[in-house]
Amino acid sequence: MESDRLFVNDVETATCAFCPYGTAFTAGDRILIYDEKTVFGRQVRERPAQVTAVKLFRSTGRQITLDLVMVSDNECRKIAEDSDLTVGILMDHRAGAKNFDPKRPPVVVYFAPVTE
């Protein structure tokens, strides 16, 4: 687990993170998950995790797919919450938007905590 890390809303409950410009992570990688919750003086919290899946994210502005499979509204909300974003931001991250880089397509990284 060198310097590979993801940032999420809450390390205690997050299971995924939206990466708007892709990632080099693959299933099986061990990484660090960070959040910036204020805990006794603005401590940054971290947790070791193992990547369980990396899924290609696509949005039409109305529907989100992961690896070309449509996802439910509940899954969209979970991705947004874990990533400290809104569903609207996820929906707006689509081909043609000014913040979209087709050379580095967005993904959602799924992970599980590692106890050491």
Domain count, the chain: 1
Radius of gyration of the CA atoms of the chain, in A: 14
pLDDT score at 56: 97
First-to-final CA distance of the chain: 12
pLDDT of 3 over the 60 cut = no
Q: Print the domain residue range for 92.
A: 5-113
**Does this model's pTM top 0.85?**
yes
pLDDT score at 2: 42
Distance CA 83, CA 65 (A): 17
Q: Output DSSP code: residue 82.
A: H
The predicted-structure confidence for 5-62, as pLDDT tens digits, reads as follows 799 999 999 999 999 999 999 999 999 999 887 666 667 889 999 999 999 999 999 9
The sign one gets for the Cα dihedral 33, 99, 25, 111 is: positive
Closest CA to 78 of 66, 89, 86, 67: 86
Query: Which CATH number does the domain housing residue 80 bear?
Result: 2.30.130
The predicted-structure confidence for 85-113, as pLDDT tens digits, reads as follows 999 999 999 988 888 898 999 999 999 99
